[in-house]
Chain A
Amino acid sequence: MVAFVLQGNENLIEEIVALQSNENVEFSEPTRTNAIGLSLDSPINPDQVKETILLVTAIFQSAKAVFELLKVIQEKQKSRTQQVLVKDPISGKTVIKIDKDTTDEQILSAIEK
Chain B
Amino acid sequence: MTVWVDLGMLRRLGHDDVTIQIVTSSAYGDHKTVQGLMALDFVKTFSSDKAEFHVNLVSSMIHEKRHFLDSLITNYGAFKFRTFAVYYANSNALLSDLKKSNLNLRIPFDAYSDRVKMLANNIDERSVPRSLSVLAKHFQERSYMLGLENQPLDFENLGSFNVGGDGQLEAIGMLCQLKYIFNAGELQPFGQLYGKHIINDERLLQKYFWWMPFFEKFTQKKMPKFMLSDTLFVAPKMQYLIPILYGALAIRVEEGNETNYGVRNPSFSAARLVAILEEFKNYKFHIADVAAIEIWQYVNSISSKIWGRSVIDEFIADHEKMKMIFKDVQHPCLDDYCALREKALYMLETNPAAIVDVELFESEMLPKIDPIIIFCDSNANQQINTEQASPIFEYKKPNEPEKSLLKRIVKKLTKKYTKNIHYVFASTVNEQIRRGFLQKAELFVDLNDNWKKLIAEVAPMAKLAFWGLKYPSPLLFELRKAELNFSYYSNYELDPNFSPQDHILSAKDLADLIVEAHLECNLCREQKPVDSLFIVSPLYLQIVWQQHFQKNIYENQDWGHNVVCNACRDRYQIF
Q: Which residues of A contact B (CB under 8 A)?
A: 1, 3-5, 7, 10, 26-52, 55, 57-59, 87, 89-93
Contacts and interface: CB of A to CB of B under 8 A. Distances in A.
Contact of B140 (A1, A29, A44, A92): A29
B143 interface: yes
A40 B166 contact: yes
Contact of B495 (A41, A47, A92, A93): A92
B150 interface: yes
Given A29-B140, A32-B146, 6 more contacts: A10-B151, A36-B166, A43-B56, A59-B119, A90-B121, A93-B496
A45 B203 CA distance: 9
A87 B499 CA distance: 13
B240 interface: no
Interface in B476-504: 495-499
21 contacts: A1-B119, A3-B120, A7-B497, A29-B113, A29-B140, A29-B144, A31-B113, A33-B470, A34-B147, A35-B470, A35-B471, A37-B164, A38-B463, A39-B472, A40-B166, A43-B63, A43-B207, A46-B207, A48-B203, A48-B207, A52-B147
Contacts of B60: 42-44
Interface of A is mostly: loop
Contact of B57 (A29, A35, A44): A44
A98 B126 CA distance: 35
B357 interface: no
Interface stretch (B170-178, B326-334, B405-413, B414-422): B170-178
Given A3-B120, A31-B113, A32-B144, A51 B63 contact: no
A87 B262 CA distance: 34
A105 B490 CA distance: 43
B390 interface: no
Closest A-B pairs by Cβ, 3 of them: A92-B496, A37-B146, A3-B120
User: Among the interface residues A10, A37, A47, A58, which one has the most CB atoms of the partner chain B within 10 A?
Assistant: A37
Contacts of B206: 48-49
Contacts of A44: 53, 56-57, 60
Contacts of B57: 44
B146 A55 contact: no
B173 A40 contact: yes
A52 B83 CA distance: 19
B378 interface: no
A1 B118 CA distance: 13
Contacts of A10: 147, 151
B184 interface: no
Interface of B is mostly: helix
B165 A92 contact: no
A89 B64 contact: no
Contacts of A33: 470, 497-498
B162 interface: yes
A21 to B, nearest CB: 8
A32 B147 contact: yes
Contacts of B498: 33
Given A49-B160, A52-B152, A29 B114 contact: yes
A54 to B, nearest CB: 8
B204 A46 contact: yes
Contact of B472 (A5, A35, A48, A90): A35
A79 B320 CA distance: 50
A37 B150 contact: yes
Contact of B63 (A42, A49, A90): A42
A46 B160 CA distance: 15
A43 B174 contact: yes
Contacts of B28: none
A8 B207 CA distance: 24
Contact of B497 (A41, A51, A92): A92
B161 interface: yes
A30 B64 CA distance: 32
A47 B497 CA distance: 22
A37 B120 contact: no
Contacts of B318: none
Contacts of B186: none
A95 B491 CA distance: 27
Nearest to A10: B151
Contact of B169 (A3, A5, A40, A89): A40
User: Among the interface residues A34, A40, A59, which one has the most CB atoms of the partner chain B within 10 A?
Assistant: A40
Given A5-B497, A37-B149, A40-B67, A57 B166 contact: no
B110 interface: yes
A38 B466 CA distance: 10
B435 interface: no
B161 A49 contact: yes
A37 B114 contact: no
B255 to A, nearest CB: 20
Interface string B150-164: 111000000111101
